[in-house]
Amino acid sequence: MSKLVKLFVALTFLVGVSCSNGALLNDNQTIVDEDIAVVDQSASSSGTDIPYNGSNGDVMLQAFHWNSKNGKNSKTWYDYLYSVRTKLRTYYNVIYLPPPSQSADGYGYMPSDWANLSSNYGTQASLKSLITALHASPKKYVLADVVLNHRSAKSQCPHGVWCGYGYAANAMTSSDFINGSYDQVSDSGAKSCGTCMTSGYSEGSWSYGGRTYYNEDFTGSCDVNHWNSSTRTKIKTWLTWLKSSTNAGFDGWRYDMIGGYDPLYLGEYNTSSSPYLSVGEKPSGDRQMLSDMVNRSGNKTMVFDFAMRDSLYSALASVNNMYGNYLGSVGANTNYGLIGWWSEAAVTFIHNHDIDLNHHSVGRNTMLWGVSGSAKGVSTQAAYAFILTHPGIPCVFIQDWEDRGTYMTKAINNLIKIRKANGVQKGSRVYVAKAENGIYAAYIGTEGAEQVAIKIGKTGWNNYESWTPNSALGLTKAYTQYETGGHAYCVYYKNAVTIE
């Protein structure tokens, strides 16, 4: 698209499809699928591709929340997911499951016996049945949430502290933990295992591009010593074991708490285990840090784009405005967050098990729902409209998809359909046309042949109501939701889908 045309689009002199509140689609309106071929939109992406980052058109589901350990519908969580496997397979290419091993906390985040895959989420047999069902053609890929930063013990030492790691498989000794074993670390006259009970022990640091980052200390369990090559060999052996269909059959990894050790080793673990997709969790809004973590891994893992999520939260923080300037600036690939720099390395998301309706533990709150008393939750819908029309691999949270009402479920389903039918990919180009109070508007796709455009804004504001995409693009389909006095969004697209 020439600079003149870009300016022409940004000023909205051309007439396109109207999505003002006077011409909204009915929620139940159906658009007939016209079977138009999907167009490759990967040109002119914001970065370079990397290994272990799935496929271009993937959409991910985080298939658990904080209370999933309690099961659902009188079933264990694995058995429940098996019962809705057809629905999962319809919308998602990648399914991300909770930590699989037995755990001291019951949630999976203080793992103990790595080889015991019967947990509060269900039995190992149920887990294998679920993965096998998801692997049926066309194959869906299943990620395990692996917690490698720390490990809980099997037995107590003579002083009463849980520090025995003599498991039948994947046993560990003092050299496998930072600062040694229980008997080697003094804690105000007592003894503790590694950095288990006391903060302040050095976890080491790493550097990239002249910037130094200090690893986090976890005080709930003993911290695993990733600097020890024999420890890393044990980790690599376990990951290979998890991939085997005899044991589980996982296809890839969601790495928990990667801020606790050098991301260099993520590259080593992935080189060894060859995951379909790898994504690390570091709850930081600093996209430079997130980018450096990917670089430090040898460009061998994706990361969750907390920087983008923080920007989106700020943009939609009040129903009285939509702060479009928090999402980017006018121009190509100018979104804030990692997606504006390196979308091929970014997994985007709105909520997760640490930011859900029952649990907040990473210093963040759930997204604004919308106008008080509304069943639609358009503000949260608009957040999903953003990630499901933009590059990166979007990750939907199952609690939003299943438990927040039919409006939310249908909106997410429709947005996934639009994304897939119109070729939005993890490396798609974004041209931001508007980023100001009251509106954010952007085109997504190959320059001059964009198949998707979106606007998010404040109802009743002229800059939102009057904006339409360049009519020359032929984006004649429109999907919109709004709440009077609150937020609204409209997705314009070319290839038709059946709207639920």
- Whether the link from the prior residue into 263 is cis, omega within 30° of 0, is no
What count of other Cβ atoms lies within 10 Å of the Cβ of residue 299?
19
- Rounded to two decimals, the pTM is 0.89
β-pair type (155-156, 162-164): antiparallel
Find where tokens 């409006």 sit. Answer: 407
Which among 280, 186, 273 has a CA at the least distance from the CA of 235? 273
Q: Output the CA angle 48-52-54, nearest 5 degrees.
A: 85
Q: What is the pLDDT of residue 197?
A: 47
Residue pair 24/484 in contact (Cβ under 8 Å)? The answer is no
Q: What is the pLDDT of residue 19?
A: 59
Q: What superfamily in CATH does domain 49-426 come from? A: Glycosidases (3.20.20.80)
- Buried b / exposed e along 141-150 (16+ C-beta atoms within 10 A): bbbbbbbbbb
Residue pair 424/442 in contact (Cβ under 8 Å)? The answer is no
Domain locations in the chain?
Answer: 49-426
Q: What is the pLDDT of residue 48?
A: 86
Q: Output the CA angle 268-270-275, nearest 5 degrees.
A: 170
Q: What is the pLDDT of residue 87?
A: 98
Residue 341 CA: distances (Å) to CA of 142, 307, 345, 430? 27, 11, 9, 11
Which among 409, 399, 283 has a CA at the least distance from the CA of 351? 399
What count of other Cβ atoms lies within 10 Å of the Cβ of residue 49?
15
Q: What is the pLDDT of residue 190?
A: 44
Q: What is the pLDDT of residue 36?
A: 26
Q: How far apart are CA 279 and CA 476, in angstroms?
A: 36
Q: What is the pLDDT of residue 6?
A: 39
What is the enclosing helix (H) or strand (E) of 7? helix 3-10
Task: Please give the average pLDDT of every successive group of 10 residues along the chain, which has 500 residues.
Answer: 38 42 32 28 57 98 98 98 98 98 92 95 99 99 98 70 75 77 46 50 86 89 90 98 98 98 98 99 98 98 98 98 98 97 98 93 94 97 99 99 98 99 98 98 98 98 98 98 98 98
